[in-house]
Amino acid sequence: MIKEVRDTLKIEYKMAVLEYAKLCGNASRACRAFEVPRSSFYEWKKAFDAEGKAGLVRKKPAACSHP
């Protein structure tokens, strides 16, 4: 699969989980329905609240220190 398509689908999946949780009013129910850990859900929610849809893009980890 093309990388850009895969990344877009991942963002849309995260948006679907967040939207379902908003509609049903229960994060635990949404996480069970989509089989997503609640820790991941709350990370996505925090990123979405801070940056919007751009916050759901996977960011490469940065090295703490580089020699």
Segment (H or E) for 16: helix 3-24
Q: For the whole model, what pTM was predicted?
A: 0.83
**Block residue for tokens 């949780």:** 21
State the burial class of residue 11 (Cβ atoms within 10 Å of its Cβ: 0-12, 13-18, 19+). middle
pLDDT tens by residue, 23-52: 999 999 999 999 999 999 999 999 999 999
Q: Is the pLDDT of residue 58 over 90?
A: no
